[in-house]
Chains A and B, each alone.
Chain A
Amino acid sequence: MDWSCQCDFADVDHDGDDDLMHSSYGQAFSGAVMSRMFLNNGGFFSEYNPSAQISGNPNIAPGSGAGFLEGQHQTNTTDTTGLFHDIANVSLDVDFADFDGDFDNDIQASSRDTQQRIFQSRWYENGESYGNEVATTRLYRDVTGSWLLGPGGLAQLPGANYDNDFHDMDNDSDVDGYFLGYIGTQDRWAVNDGSGHFQSFQTVPNSANDDNETDWHDFDHDGDVDPFISAFSGADRFYKNQYVETSSINLTEVQLGQGLGVQTLGSDMGDMDNDGDIDIICAEDSGQNEVLLRNNINVPDPIAPRIDQIQQLAPGNPSSTPRRIISRVWDNINFEYMKQATGTLNFTVNGNPHSAHAKYTGGNLWRSVIPGYFYGNISYSLTVSDRVGNAGTSAVKAVVIPLQGFTTFGTDLPGCHGAHVLGVGTAPTVNNPEFSMTCTGGPASSMSLCLVTDSQGRASTSLVSESRSGPM
């Protein structure tokens, strides 16, 4: 049993499907019920709880190892070594993003009344695995003590931390944040030093209000993201991020729109009228009508997605396992809407072009794969096109996969007489849609037919299901 206000999805174990982070604020906002993680296994979710310890019902006790975080539960811990964590907060919002820039999704959990938390994904630190109970490693570690409270950070005394939202506010390719009700009811924004540490907390002007949610968009199409505040008390607010104009974020409230919501529980961004700009719809409390804010800039968003980091593949042998490539992608809209974009991995194998679908995988990350059976000189790049067609492309990366699994049978003589067995190759161990036989020394620019039978002289239907077989 729990008390949840929000969840978020991301592919935390890099298997290509979306897993679930399920926050809890506890009975009567007690902050005593653990948040949980559920892994998606082919459409069925199961809790990731490697210790198999069970929380008390409903509250978790200090010292418990239940849940997805390394170590034991300790309220308000600042330990960052993995010995202790705080898995039970007044969490009304949880967000995935790659805060430390290592191509996996970390977690930030708000807490209305206590220290909010930040959890580092240990996927790569664990050697691309969940971790090992014997080695006391798990998929996530509580790093609040250094990422939020470290040098340059700011301890919070929240009273209304109902929501946070994350994006690259200064276009320097890391995830910055807007923290609602960070001290009392006053909002703060902070930048990331590139390794996950939030610093330089700044007060947001005119934000000492009872607000409920914040969302990123770019109302003026200048290429930096601006926060929109859903206010539970008083009118919703727009702020302008001045980074593009002044090289300083310096959030400034701007008066935009009429008929703004005045008791808003939450808002969402999207192009409601298909004119290419982002509109806002606001959900109102207390029986009031919802509010649709139509952006009257009335020209399509001109800003293309930015892909400034794409994983470098490591050299290795041909494999039955696809080669996974994670990229960090930004666009001038919140992550929730960015997944409406279309991603394509373009790659060449020894100069021959191929492409593969790329998938939004939570936070600011996209995932794509190259089949593992390819070998030779492989180069690749990711292109993401937003909903109005602006396309951004990453740098081109290259990797060399050594030749393996390739057999040369030898040289035969032309003609129909005599034995023509040249050699035997081992069977491929993986399905391979690109497999082919090559014969050289034939007549130039001519036709040939490659005949295939099994050991019984039959056209095995298990090999190819084409209809071009027939009796000799």
Chain B
Amino acid sequence: MIGASNVFGLDGPTDATGTAIAAAAIPNNPALAGGNFYFQFIFYEASW
């Protein structure tokens, strides 16, 4: 992922328990068949 040239960013705010849900609607697109996709969550956390 770190070497990727281009990424999608999906918002995923966390709730009070620290759970983040990122909605990624899968469209009706035959080009998706057999494809691999890679997902990574990055969290922002205040340092104080």
Contacts and interface: CB of A to CB of B under 8 A. Distances in A.
B27 to A, nearest CB: 6
Nearest to B11: A449
A319 to B, nearest CB: 15
Contacts of A464: 8, 10, 24-25, 27
A451 B23 CA distance: 12
A440 B5 contact: no
A437 B14 contact: no
Interface string A412-436: 0010100010000001101111111
Contact of A452 (B3, B8, B28): B8
A58 B42 CA distance: 74
A452 B23 CA distance: 12
A450 B39 contact: yes
Across the A-B interface, the 5 shortest Cβ-Cβ residue pairs: A450-B22, A457-B4, A431-B28, A462-B31, A452-B8
A438 interface: yes
B24 A437 contact: yes
A431 B24 contact: no
A452 B5 contact: no
A432 B38 contact: no
Contact of B15 (A445, A455, A471): A445
Given A437-B21, A444-B15, A444-B16, A449 B26 contact: no
A472 B2 contact: yes
B13 A446 contact: yes
Nearest to A373: B26
A460 B26 CA distance: 12
B44 A427 contact: no
Contact of A450 (B20, B26, B44): B20
Given A427-B35, A447-B43, A452-B39, A459 B6 contact: yes
A434 B23 CA distance: 7
Contacts of B6: 453, 457-459, 469-472
Contacts of A472: 2-7
Contacts of B41: 437, 439, 442, 448-451
A452 B38 CA distance: 5
A472 B5 CA distance: 6
Contacts of A451: 1, 4, 7-10, 39-42
7 contacts: A434-B23, A440-B18, A445-B15, A447-B43, A450-B10, A450-B42, A451-B1
Interface of B: 1-29, 31-46
A466 B17 CA distance: 29
A45 B32 CA distance: 33
Contacts of B46: 443, 446
A465 interface: yes
Contacts, number: 195
Contacts of B24: 435-437, 450, 452, 463-464
B26 to A, nearest CB: 5
A453 B20 contact: no
A433 B26 contact: yes
B4 A448 contact: no
A436 B26 CA distance: 9
Contacts of A439: 12, 19-20, 22, 41
A443 B15 CA distance: 9
Contacts of A450: 9-12, 20, 22, 24, 39-42
A448 B12 CA distance: 5
A103 to B, nearest CB: 29
A468 to B, nearest CB: 5
Interface in A268-288: none
Contact of A462 (B18, B20, B21, B32): B32
Contact of B4 (A428, A443, A444, A458): A458
B21 to A, nearest CB: 5
B27 A438 contact: no
A448 B5 contact: no
A460 B10 contact: no
Which of B7, B34, B37 has the most A CB atoms < 10 Å from its CB?
A: B7
Taking each of B5, B31, B33, which has the highest tally of chain A beta carbons within 10 Å of its own beta carbon?
Answer: B5
Contacts of A446: 13-14, 18, 43-46
B23 A457 contact: no
Nearest to A441: B18
Contacts of B35: 427, 454-455, 460, 462-463
Contacts of B12: 437, 439, 448-450
A433 B42 contact: no
Contacts of A434: 23, 25
A112 B31 CA distance: 58
